[in-house]
Amino acid sequence: MFGRLVGAYSRAVVNASSTKILRESPTPQGPTVWICWHEGNLIALALHKYVTGRAAMAFVPPGAPGSAMSGWLEALEITPVPLAADARRGLGLRHMEAALESGKDVLIAVDGPRGPPHRIAPGAMWLARAMNVEIRPVGCCALPALRLPRWDRLIVPLPGARVALVIGACLPKQKSAAAKGLLAATLHGLSERARAALSAEPKLAPQEAVPWR
């Protein structure tokens, strides 16, 4: 029940009338692995179907947190997939591969499900490389918003908040420390652009594109 309440809240405060979408390149038309920091989950998950029009799946942790997260995802029409200990070739990963093959997207918070914050886990890049699909990063911000006092400092937009989502260009899928570093730097940069958009343009119309300053 709690998870569904979270999903309903996010849909109410993160919507077309409150959100500015900025794209560094056109939105992909085929199945995609979308990534963000865990702190942006409430915003990014609520906007996925609005941005792409496609169905999606996302991992949930085991136990009570996973049950709550499952309700949240289901409220957003995203299919939850349990994250097994053997995620490298476990059942959850096979579900994700099947989802991409069928045209669905996969949504991954690359520093989840428990952190440390802003430390990249390799699963998203591995999955995109194995399935030969695009991996696309997003950054987001909301004003006004709360930051929950937990490991990821989850961003919670307050009622009436303005929201910005910045969609980055396709990332390389190499398996290397340099690729992970690029991914982290890209996510930080997109998050900063989202913050700058809201700070510089307090009364932007939804979907209105403006040049970066």
Closest CA to 14 of 6, 2, 4, 24: 6
213 lies in some domain: no
- For the segment 117-143, what is each residue's pLDDT rounded down to a tens digit? 999 988 898 899 999 999 999 999 999
The domain total for the chain is: 1
Q: What integer pLDDT is reported at residue 178 of this predicted model? A: 83
206 lies in some domain: no
Q: How far apart are CA 76 and CA 49, in angstroms?
A: 8
Question: Which residues does 83 contact at the CB level (< 8 Å), separation at least 6?
Answer: 59, 60, 61, 62, 66, 92, 113
Phi, psi of 163 (to 5 degrees): -125, 140
120 lies in some domain: yes
Residues spanned by the domain of 101:
2-200
- For the segment 22-70, what is each residue's pLDDT rounded down to a tens digit? 999 999 999 999 999 999 999 999 999 999 999 999 989 888 888 889 9
138 lies in some domain: yes
96 lies in some domain: yes
Question: Which residues does 52 contact at the CB level (< 8 Å), separation at least 6?
Answer: 27, 28, 32, 105
pTM: 0.88
CATH number for the domain harbouring residue 196:
3.40.1130.10
128 lies in some domain: yes
